[in-house]
Every structure is written in structure tokens, then in C-alpha cells.
Amino acid sequence: MTVTYSLPKNDGLEQPTAVRERGSRGPRVFASGDLKLLLLALIAEQPCHGYDLIRRIENMFDGAYSPSPGVIYPTLTFLEMSSLVTCGVDDGKKCYSVTDAGRLSLEEQAAALDEVRERVETRKRTLRGHDRPAEIHEAVYNLRHALQKHPGNWSPEEITRVSDLLNDTAKAIIDGPDRPPVSESTP
């Protein structure tokens, strides 16, 4: 039996799609430390100016987000003070290059950088509004509603049953269409 409830515009699992405008507050695009690591990686790929970094990040988000100079330049200053990048002058503009310490830091944080790039891809889809189809929003909303309706007195058996069901469903989503749905694979 499928139970359907009226669906809000947001299923509650993703951030609002608004992007911060200059001078306003909105959802954060980068988690703590993500921008530092991403800037370091971009500079390691090619020495560049702060404005170039802004444009490169904007391109990563397909134009859905552009970091402000007020976010980029203090982060570049931090990277410079941490001796991860150096700053020279090229045509009257500051040009940033990665140091040996910066390259070592990137090697040590390779897995974290991969995670940052994955979060950028996810955030880009959210910002552009291409997150999930309406049917998925509805299913997620129904799940949240069912969990909220639970009286809260979870028995150990019920905790195991529901957590196994949710974990199996998450794994089936990640594994893709080659794995049978949870309802077909469980006895």
C-alpha cells in the first residue's frame, strides 16, 4: 500500500536553492575548509590571479554560484600566511603559485579533495534546481512524514528493522539499477 501526503516544494533533505547575493545571507556553498583546499588545488593546476579563481569556481558551478572577492581574497591570504602558496606580481596583479608545502598538503589531503569535488557537483545540481525528480521528492517527503509520525518509543527490534531497511535502501540507490529493489531482495 502506498500512502501519499501533500507534497511541499522542498522535501527537507537539501539546502534551499537560493544563492547568497552580495551583502545578503544565504546558505553556505562550501563546508568549513573546502574552499581552502579547492583554491590550493586550482592554484596547483595553474598559477593564477584571484579573479581567475573566482571565474574558475563559477565555471565549476556552471554559473549557478560565483564566490565573492570578500571570500576568495581572505582565503588566499590565509593560504599565503600558511606558506602553502606564494604571491607575486604579474602585470600589476597578484599572482598565486603553489609551494612545495602546498603540494605536499594536497598529496596528504587527496581523499578530502575528492570529497570536496563530489560536494561541488552535488551542490551545483542543487543550486541549478536539477536535484531530484518530483516523484523522488514525494517519496522522501513520505519517508520523513512516516518517521515523524512514529510515536517515539522505539523497541530494539523496531530500531534494527527500520535502520536495516533504510540502510539497505540507501545502498540500493547507490548501487544503481543492477541491484534488485529492497522489497524483492528481502525474504
* Set of cell numbers at residue 2: 502506498
Alpha helix segments (H runs only) across the chain? 34-45, 50-60, 69-81, 100-108, 110-128, 134-149, 156-175, 182-185
A 10 A CB-CB count for 166 gives: 13
If DSSP codes are grouped into helix, strand and coil, which group holds residue 95?
strand
Rg, C-alpha atoms of the chain: 22
Residue 16 maps to a domain: no
In a shared domain, residues 87 and 38? yes
pLDDT at 7: 42
Residue 108 maps to a domain: yes
If DSSP codes are grouped into helix, strand and coil, which group holds residue 87?
strand
pLDDT tens-place values along the chain, 187 residues long? 333 334 444 444 444 433 444 444 456 788 888 999 999 999 999 999 999 999 999 989 888 888 899 999 999 999 999 999 999 998 888 999 999 999 999 999 999 999 999 999 888 877 776 656 778 777 877 888 788 888 888 899 999 999 999 999 888 888 888 766 655 555 5
pLDDT at 160: 95
Q: Kindly provide the b/e burial profile for residues 120-153, where b requires at least 16 CB atoms within 10 angstroms of the residue's own CB.
A: beebbbbbeeebeeeeebbbbbbeebeeeeeeee
* Set of cell numbers at residue 73: 581574497
Domain extent for 103: 34-128
pTM: 0.58
Residue 83 maps to a domain: yes
Q: What is the CATH number of the domain that holds 82?
A: 1.10.10.10
CA separation for the pair 146, 142 (Å, rounded) = 6
In a shared domain, residues 93 and 147? no
Residue that the C-alpha cell 517515539 belongs to:
152
In a shared domain, residues 116 and 150? no
What are the DSSP calls for 170-184, one per residue? HHHHHH-TTSPPHHH
In a shared domain, residues 109 and 140? no
